[in-house]
Each structure stands twice: as C-alpha cells, then as structure tokens.
Amino acid sequence: MKVGVVRYGVGNIGSVINALRKLGLEHVIISSERDLDLCDVIILPGVGSFDAAIRYIRSTLPVIEKLKSSKPVIGICLGMQIMFESSEEGTLRGLSWFRGRVKRLSSRVVPHMGWNSVDILKGSVLDVRSGDYFYFAHSYCLYVGDVEKSILLGKTVFESSEFASIIFDDESMVLGTQFHPERSSKTGLRLLASFLRECRR
C-alpha cells in the first residue's frame, strides 16, 4: 500500500512521514495529479491555515475536491477542517464534503495544546476506545452540534468547548481527526493502522 501526503506548501509534515515509516508503509509527497494516481490512500495533514490549504488545492490539485468516495482519505487537524463547508479562520469555501462550519474555540485558553481524551460515541471498525489520549494542537474546531451524527465518531471536551475529535464516514472511507495521530504515540499509530487495514479489504 502506498500512502500519499499532500503538502500545502507551508508547514512541516515530517511527523506524518515518520508515522508512516513506523507502520512500514511507503509514502509519496503529493504535488501533482500524477502523484495522486500513484497512491492508494491520501492524507490531508494538519499544517497551515484554512485559506492557504484551500487555495493551494484549488490552484495545484483541484481534483482533490472530487476525491471523496474515489480513494480513502485521512484528514488530520486542519486536514479534517477543510473537508467541511467553511471556517471562521478564513473566507474561502471548504471542500464541502460534509456540512458544517469550523469555529474558533470558545475556551479561555487558546490554542488547545497537549494531551486530551476522546469519548467514543458509537461502534466502528476502527481500533479506538473511549478514554484513549491523543495529542491536540489547534485553535479552531467543529462543535459537536455542527456535525452530522452519522459521521461523528468521537468528541472531546476542553474547558467550555465540546468538539468533534473524530469523524468517520465508512461508506466513502474518510477519516478525520482533530488531534494529531502521528504525534500520539501508540494510540495514534493504532488508530491509523486500523483505518489502513480496512482500506486493504
């Protein structure tokens, strides 16, 4: 299996690549549509800002907008947020794969950085459990009430904010995490491995 990592042109994706190496997976840095064709799974990483990521995709890789249901996709942090319609962080329209608007955390402390637990709301094929801890680093989120229940798999509470920490569309094989699984030690690798295992079936 070959996993493609989209580079938006800003930020470091080294931790994502290191996680793929630990899982024994070959990776490709995606910078053209030809690169996309070489990959079985695509990762939209969590680096940069909403508008910068969308602007890069529309100017360099517009085919990504139609990627849902054609290839499995993992969206990490910002990569999950751009799957939705819009964000308070920017003015551009998101990929609109799912309904919802990304909003700034209402918590007293922003950004939310560090380890926090996830409450799993329903069963899935993914190897993730309520109480598992993951590493977060974000100032924006999708509040639980703004996400379709059919894709809301996990939520997290940080001070006064209750937000979606995992979304999963098993029909189109799209996984989104507000946390960084690639920086979340064994629990993060376990989650990624279980999703990739399902992609092979």
* Catalytic residue annotation: 77, 180, 182
The amino acid at residue 162 is: E
Please tell me what DSSP assigns to residue 143: B
Judge contact between 177 and 190, C-beta under 8 A.
no
CA distances, 58 to each of 6, 33, 62 (Å): 13, 12, 4
Across 50-191, where does the E strand assignment appear?
73-76, 86-87, 101-104, 112-117, 119-120, 133-138, 140-141, 152-158, 161-169, 174-177
DSSP state of 142: -
Q: Report the largest interatomic distance among the alpha carbons of the chain, rounded to a whole angstrom.
A: 45
d(CA 79, CA 101): 14
